[in-house]
Amino acid sequence: MLLSKFVRLLMAVLQIVGVVIAGIVGCLWLAMLWAGQLHRPKRAPPGSFGLPIIGETHQFVIDGRSKSPQVYADKRKAKYGQPVYTTHHMGYPTVMSIDPEVNKFILQNEGKYFVSNYPRSLRNLFGEGAIACTSGDLHKRIHNVVLSFINTTKLKEFVMADVEYVIKTALRNWEGRTVHVEEECKTCKENCVNVMKKIIEERRRKPQSEQKDILDALLADSDQNGEKIPDSIIYNNIMNLFGAGEETSPMAMMCAVKYIYECPKALDQLREEHYAIRKMKASRESLTWNDYTNCMTFTHQVINETLRLVNPAAGVNRKAVKDVEFKGYFFPKGWLVFPYFRNVHLDEAVYPDPLTFNPWRWEKKIPSMYYTPFGGGPRICAGQELAKLEIAIFLHYLVTQFTWIHHDDEIINFPAVSFKNKLPITVKALQR
C-alpha cells in the first residue's frame, strides 16, 4: 500500500519534471530557431527583434491604440539615436523609417529595390490582379488607367456631380437627429457597393459608346499586342477601388467634423468661405469645378491639416527585393520595410505645436516630403484627388446647412482610424 503510494507520487513528480524539462527544451529550441533564422546582418540598422515569433508587434498594437500612437517610433528613435531602426512586425524582421528623405527614397524605388508587400490574407481578399498587390506592367497599366480617369478633367465632367448628389442625399437625413457619423458613413458605403454590382452587370450586357467612368476605361484598355484586361481582374480592381476609398475618405470626413467643432475659429472661417460661394448661386444650384479649385482656399487647408493629424494611412508596407543602402542605412534583402508617415507629420521643426489642429499653418509652403498622407512614387494613391473633392463637398453642405453638437468621444488610431462611440453628433438645420 505504502509502496504503491510512493510509486504514484514518484510518477507524478517525474511527470512534472518531464513537463518542465520539455518546456525548457522547447523554449531553448525556439530561441535557437529565432536567433538562427533571424540572423541579423551586421550592417542592418540598430534595433530589437523583441519576443520570439511575435517580435514587437504587440507593442506596436498597444501604442497604436493609445492616445499617442506616435510614441512607438519616438521611443525607438530616442533609444537608437536615429530615425531608421530594426524592429520585428507580423513575423518578419523589419526596417522602420521615420526619416522623410529615406521614406521618399523607398516610395520612389517601388519595383526597383522595394515591392509592395501585403499579407497573404489581404492579397486573397483583394483578388488576382488587384492594383494594390499587383506589380510590374499590369500594375503600371491599371494605375495609369485609374489616374488618367480620376484626373481633373474627368472629375470635373462626371464625378463631381455624382459625389455632390450622394453627399446631399445623405446629409438630408441628418436634419434634427442625433447621428453616429461613423455608422452613417458606412451605410453610404454599402449603397455604393450594391449600385456598382448593378452597373457592372448592365455594362456587360450593353457596352457604352463613350468612356464615362473607370469601368469603361478599364474595359477599353489594351496593351501593345491588343490584349484586353481580363474581366475578373477588372472586377477585382473596381472592388479594390471601393475598398481603398471606403474607409479612408469617410474617416477623414469624420475627423474633420470633430476638429472644426473643437476649433470654433476654424469653423467660422470655413462657414464664411462657403457662404461666400452660396451667395453667388441660386438656392439649389450645384457647386462647380471653379468653386472647388478657386474659392476653397481655407477648405483645402482644413483638409491638409485633418489628414496630417489623422493619418488614415500611417505608413505603407514594402519588402526589399535586394540588399540596398541609402544615406548610410542598410536594408537587407527579404526584410520588410516600413516607411512610417505619422511621426514625420508631427515633426516639430516643420509643424510647430504639432498636435494642435491649426489649418492656418498651411498658409506657408511645407516641403512635400514632410507631407505624404497619400504615399508617393509609382504607388501614390490613385484616388487622392477624388478623396479631397469628396471631403470638400461634404464640408460645403455640412457647414452651410447645419450646426451640430458633439457628444463625448475619442479617436482610436489602430488598426484603422475609428471613434470609440462612433462619433455621435446632434444636428440642427441652420436658420439663415
CB of 379 to ligand HEM, least distance (A): 4
Distance CA 305, CA 259 (A): 9
Applying CB under 6 A, the residues found at the interface with ligand HEM are 116, 131-132, 143, 146, 241, 244-245, 248-249, 252, 307, 312-313, 316, 373-375, 379, 381-383, 386-387
- For the bound state, the minimum distance from the C-beta of residue 322 to ligand HEM, rounded and expressed in Å, comes to 19
* Structural contact between residues 371 and 384, judged by C-beta atoms closer than 8 angstroms: no
CB of 392 to ligand HEM, least distance (A): 12
Question: Judged by CB, which is closer to ligand HEM: 257, or 381?
Answer: 381
Query: Would you say 143 or 422 has its CB closer to ligand HEM?
Result: 143
Cβ atoms within 10 Å, residue 325: 10
Q: How far is the CB of 375 from ligand HEM (least distance, A)?
A: 3
Is residue 250 within 8 Å of residue 423, measured between CB atoms? no
59 vs 113 by CB, closer to ligand HEM: 113
Nearer to ligand HEM, 218 or 263 (CB): 218
Nearest position to ligand HEM, beta carbon = 383
Beta bridge partner(s), residue 319: 115, 336
Q: Which of 292, 248, 294 is nearest to 392 (CA)?
A: 292
Residue 339 identity: P
Closest C-alpha among 315, 326, 307, 306 to residue 379 = 315
Residue 103 CB, nearest approach to ligand HEM (Å): 11
List CB contacts of 56: < 8 A, sequence separation 6 or more: 48, 49, 50, 87, 88, 89
Shortest Cβ distance from residue 128 to ligand HEM (Å)? 15
Distance, CA of 236 to CA of 119 (rounded, Å): 17
| Other beta carbons less than 10 A from residue 225's beta carbon | 5
Task: Report the residue number, 82 or 139, with the smaller CB distance to ligand HEM.
Answer: 139
**244 or 425, CB closer to ligand HEM?**
244
